[in-house]
């Protein structure tokens, strides 16, 4: 499943109603369904009141789509909910470059989440470990009984391990395949269901029973290959751009201060997809950063290398990160816009959704590094800002680009100047016509 085609040239130049129609055509959704799901930010205050506490209203964010995504040979239109300008345009542009090299390749592990059961004041750690491992089958059976529905669908507890944290403290991890769910509720249920039994086997006191957000058995990987021609920037050759991006990657690999910003650029792509689809972005953030620090040095979640192929230099990107997303339960039950986001993506598994989010992360990272390694990011921001000022000044159709380009070149994006430029352009266009 995917979109018929995620290449919609000139999409950004069209009006909101035109974009909606084009999307409905690309993903086979009735226009009315799309419009309804997008009206009023998705949920009304009464629905919101049932989701969280002390509700006084709702808070809307822009909902856009990133285009050009091709992942494992299938096209995806990627829904993104985000407040930061340039993020969607950057992901769209980078996905186009990556498409030129054959698109993204992505792989993913099973949806394994760990329940943590902490036991402290343990008298004899070795005996505790031995008894828990000996009772593994029984414990996993009891765990399975607490999530019978998941088991009936083919998921459920798969394995268990004991970790020694201190001479008097152990933690038992129960690993559960959560299939298409994010899994937090089920994994917490398991921890609570077998906690007492674990503590009594260990002859210790029962401590916390909760999932771990460091879901490092639920990794997603995305890779891409971008030919030099596709990555070339204004005034910078393809090979120079590749060298600049590889140098930026090395900087992040050597320096945690840079790695934090590099990873922020990745999360610029990931989080908007996570939010659009009604998933828990705090969980995704927690996992990403804990994983990034796993070696003891905070490191980049994606790295870039230059490959010399017979056809010329190629830029290769590799991303690996943990991610726990669901396509059932949670916010999706109550949020029509989150459901619409999944409809736009046309994914039918949490695995596919997660691969899309990871590819959006890799695309965002590429866009940021390419800009930073060449002209810097401010010019791109200026162009986008100039375009919205041009629209505000009344520019229409091709005028928008003409006005925006002039404003960006002049580094003057005031509304007054936009209006003057528009008058000049109309005069010129009129005299030419
Ligand atoms: C801005 O939102 C993200 C960047 O700072 C990422 C990066 O520096 O790689 C541009």
The total of other beta-carbon atoms located within 10 Å of residue 236's CB is: 17
Mean pLDDT, range 398-411, rounded to an integer: 89
Predicted confidence band of residue 373 (pLDDT cuts 50, 70, 90) = very high
Q: Does the pLDDT at position 1 exceed 60?
A: no
Per the annotation, the verdict on 280 as an active-site residue is: yes
Q: Does the pLDDT at position 432 exceed 60?
A: no
Q: Are strands 169-177 and 112-120 parallel, antiparallel or unpaired?
A: antiparallel
Cα 201 to ligand 1 centre (Å): 50
Cα 216 to ligand 1 centre (Å): 25
| pLDDT score of 63 | 96
| pLDDT score of 84 | 94
User: CA 323, CA 63: separation in Å to the nearest integer?
Assistant: 22
Active-site hit among 18, 25, 28, 84: 84
Cα 388 to ligand 1 centre (Å): 21
What proportion of the chain, given as a percentage, has pLDDT over 70? Answer: 99
Mean pLDDT, range 289-305, rounded to an integer: 98
Report which ligand 1 atom has the smallest distance to the Cα of 369.
Answer: 9
User: CA 96, CA 65: separation in Å to the nearest integer?
Assistant: 14
Q: What is the pTM of this model?
A: 0.91
Cα 254 to ligand 1 centre (Å): 17
pLDDT digits (tens, 9 = 90+) for 187-211: 999 999 999 999 999 999 999 999 9
Pocket test for ligand 1, best of 246, 301, 365, 368 (most atoms within 8 A of CB): 368
Q: Does the pLDDT at position 430 exceed 80?
A: no
Query: What is the number of alpha carbons within 13 Å of residue 78 lying toward its C-beta?
Result: 39
Per the annotation, the verdict on 105 as an active-site residue is: no
Per the annotation, the verdict on 84 as an active-site residue is: yes
Q: Does the pLDDT at position 93 exceed 80?
A: yes
User: CA 347, CA 355: separation in Å to the nearest integer?
Assistant: 10
The burial of 357, by beta-carbon neighbours within 10 Å (0-12 exposed, 13-18 middle, 19 or more buried), is given as buried
Active-site hit among 271, 280, 352, 399: 280
Report which ligand 1 atom has the smallest distance to the Cα of 84.
Answer: 2
| pLDDT score of 384 | 78
Mean pLDDT, range 172-200, rounded to an integer: 98
Which residues does ligand 1 sit against, CB inside 6 Å? Answer: 84, 261-262, 264-265, 268, 368-369, 372, 377
Cα 345 to ligand 1 centre (Å): 25
| pLDDT score of 385 | 83
pLDDT digits (tens, 9 = 90+) for 44-54: 889 899 999 99
| pLDDT score of 433 | 44
pLDDT digits (tens, 9 = 90+) for 219-269: 999 999 999 999 999 889 999 999 999 999 999 999 999 999 999 999 999
Per the annotation, the verdict on 141 as an active-site residue is: no
Query: What is the number of alpha carbons within 13 Å of residue 430 lying toward its C-beta?
Result: 6
Q: pLDDT averaged over the chain?
A: 94
Active-site hit among 4, 13, 264, 307: 264
CB 80 within 8 Å of CB 87: yes
Supply the residue whose CA is at minimum distance from atom 4 of ligand 1: 265
């Amino acid at each position: 499943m995917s979109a018929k085609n995620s290449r919609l040239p000139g999409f950004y130049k069209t009006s909101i109603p035109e974009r909606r129609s084009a999307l409905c055509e690309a993903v086979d959704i009735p226009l009315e369904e799309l419009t309804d799901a997008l009206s009023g930010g998705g949920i009304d205050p009464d629905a919101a009141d049932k989701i969280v506490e002390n509700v006084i209203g709702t808070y809307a964010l822009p909902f856009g789509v990133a285009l050009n995504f091709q992942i494992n040979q299938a096209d995806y239109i990627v829904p993104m909910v985000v407040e930061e300008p340039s993020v969607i345009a950057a992901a769209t542009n980078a996905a186009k470059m990556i498409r030129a090299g054959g698109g993204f390749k992505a792989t993913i592990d099973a949806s394994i989440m760990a329940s943590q059961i902490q036991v402290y004041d343990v008298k004899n750690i070795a005996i505790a470990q031995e008894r828990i491992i000996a009772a593994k089958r029984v414990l996993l059976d009891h765990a399975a009984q607490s999530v019978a529905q998941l088991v009936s669908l083919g998921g459920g507890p798969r394995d268990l391990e004991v970790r020694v944290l201190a001479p008097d403290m152990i933690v038992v991890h129960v690993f559960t395949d959560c299939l298409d769910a994010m899994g937090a509720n089920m994994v917490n249920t398991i921890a609570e269901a077998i906690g007492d039994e674990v503590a009594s086997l260990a002859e210790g006191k029962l401590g916390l029973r909760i999932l771990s957000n460091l879901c490092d058995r639920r990794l997603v990987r995305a890779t891409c290959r971008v030919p030099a021609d596709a990555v070339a920037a204004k005034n910078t050759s393809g090979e120079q751009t590749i060298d600049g991006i590889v140098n930026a990657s090395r900087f992040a690999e050597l320096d945690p201060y840079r790695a934090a910003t590099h990873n922020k650029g990745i999360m610029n792509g990931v989080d908007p997809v996570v939010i659009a689809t009604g998933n828990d972005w705090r969980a995704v953030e927690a996992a990403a950063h804990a994983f990034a620090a796993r070696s003891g040095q905070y490191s980049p979640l994606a790295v870039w290398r230059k490959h010399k192929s017979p056809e010329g230099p190629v830029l290769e990107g590799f991303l690996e990160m943990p991610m726990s997303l669901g396509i059932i339960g949670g916010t999706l039950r109550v949020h029509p816009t989150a459901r619409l986001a999944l409809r736009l993506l046309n994914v039918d598994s949490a695995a596919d959704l997660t691969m899309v989010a990871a590819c959006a992360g890799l695309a965002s990272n590429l866009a940021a590094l390419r800009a930073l390694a060449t002209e810097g990011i401010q010019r791109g921001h200026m162009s986008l800002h100039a375009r919205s000022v041009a629209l505000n000044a009344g520019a229409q159709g091709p005028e928008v680009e003409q006005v925006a380009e002039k404003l960006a070149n002049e580094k003057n994006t005031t509304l007054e100047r936009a209006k003057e430029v528009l008058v000049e352009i109309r005069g010129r266009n009129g005299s030419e016509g």
